[in-house]
Amino acid sequence: MTQTTEKTRRIPAAGAVGFTASPALARDLQLVLADLVELHLQAKQAHWNVVGPGFRSLHLELDDITAAAREASDLVAERLRALHGVPDGRSGTVAATTTLAAFPGGERSTAEVIEAITNRLHGVASTIRVVRGSVDAEDPVTTDLLHSVVETLEKHAWMLGAAGREPRR
């Protein structure tokens, strides 16, 4: 019989499942996922319907935000799957669980869009910050992923917000 010491390397048994998210971790990641999917949809809605001064640059920035939110939602969903959870990005689930306010229909001025999407970028980042502590307690690897998502969202919020204001004096 081999004695196990701290220096002995443990090899997982054949068929080992690996780390599995607790129900609380899966719920936290699902909440983040819903907000990211909603952000992706709202940024695209804004992209299609923005009008006014600075249209072209805002139109293009909204595409960048849409792509970032879509990529982040894919990373979060795939992380959830890697932890043996089941992500739900269906429209009904997203609409029922997102923390983001609904985006208004119709044409929207560049100023309205800048304010609305900047607020939503901060909103998703806030959702992540709310769940970060409990996620970190269970799975620091997932926390690293969430940190990178927050960094991206806050960069877009800064860039978008700067486009809609005058210098502070």
Residue 35 in contact with residue 98, Cβ under 8 Å? yes
Rounding to the nearest 10 degrees, give the CA dihedral for residues 149, 154, 156, 161.
160
pLDDT for 26 equals 96
Rounding to the nearest 10 degrees, give the CA dihedral for residues 59, 63, 155, 127.
110
The whole-chain average pLDDT of the chain stands at 92
Q: Give the angle 144-66-21 at the CA atoms, nearest 5°.
A: 35
Percent of the chain's residues with pLDDT above 70:
90
pLDDT for 156 equals 97
Per-residue pLDDT of 50-98, as tens digits, reads 999 999 999 999 999 999 999 999 999 999 999 999 999 999 999 999 9
**E strand or H helix at 73:** helix 55-82
